[in-house]
Amino acid sequence: MRRFFPSITELHAFEVTARQGSFTRAAQELCITQGAVSKQIKNLESFLGVELFVRTRRGLVLTHAGHSYLRDVQASLSRIETASLALIAHQGMGGTLNLTCMPSFGAKWLIPRLPDLRRRYPDLHIGFLPHRMGYDFSSPEVDAAVRYGSGVWPGSQADYIGGKDVVPVCNPQLFKTPPRVPGDLLAMPLLHHTTAQQSWPDWFSDNGHDTHRSREGARFDQFTLLAQAAIAGFGTALIPRCLVEEELRDGKLIIPLDLPTTARNAYYLCYPEHKSLLPTLQVFRAWMLDASANFPLES
């Protein structure tokens, strides 16, 4: 079945003309004649049955329909360009998965494990997009996202990766006397994550020591900042164990009181349902699940 759309040449001419606001400047960018650009625009308007530009003394002005059409055309041309460059770069081998990731998880868990991904799947390439794009999948560029939360997001599937095992951590010199019971931690400041403010109250409650003081203390918006504050001796932080493996191993942090608790929120690999069969996503998902279960960081 023949698809209903104009030629790429006409769409490209429209996008350049809209940016330049002039047939003459568009012709210079496209390295063709002004008459050729004008003809391509006329052909496009004829095909669509809609006027895209208003010709004025000051130049070309997009109509309301032209403005709306331009947004979609620019996005589509950008996707075609990106796909073409990726194919050229990879010579038809493997592919690219466009991923967004929470900064702390990316820095402390994912990136240290990427060499293993490259060894296993050398033709799979990960493109990291700004993490703010991962809160919904309205952008077609996003294939998957590592999110922090409950694991339930409408319109997406989610696989648990890690983060439910949270532990109190602090500088080895913070406490002069090693804590023996939960209340002993209150001798020094508690440090909180701004989006996990229930963590300390839950930890104290789970360990039989409810206290209003569990909400006191400084707050940070990233676990990496929270860990650095704990390393600096600013207080005791409650952090997913998977994000402080290196610091615990190197002795920069210790667990002053290793009592069990399970966090309400954790890290999940999320992806839109319509992309669940994407080959690059299937490979990456399988690797992530295997890494989370069987691949601790090397000592």
Residue 99 lies in a domain: yes
Provide the domain limits for residue 147: 93-161+266-294
- Residue 268 and residue 159 in contact, taking contact as beta carbons nearer than 8 Å: yes
Q: Which of 55-64, 155-164, 193-202, 219-228 has the lowest mean pLDDT?
A: 55-64
pLDDT digits (tens, 9 = 90+) for 18-67: 999 899 999 999 999 999 999 999 999 999 999 999 988 777 899 999 99
**CA neighbours within 13 Å on the CB side: how many for 188?**
21
Amino acid at 208: G
Assess whether 171 and 245 both reside in one domain: yes
| Residue 299: per-residue pLDDT | 33
| Per-residue pLDDT at 163 exceeds 50 | yes
pLDDT digits (tens, 9 = 90+) for 252-293: 999 999 997 899 899 999 998 888 888 889 999 999 999 998
| Per-residue pLDDT at 93 exceeds 70 | no
Looking up residue 238, the CATH number of its domain turns out to be 3.40.190.10
CA angle 105, 187, 180 (to 5 degrees): 85
Residue 143 lies in a domain: yes
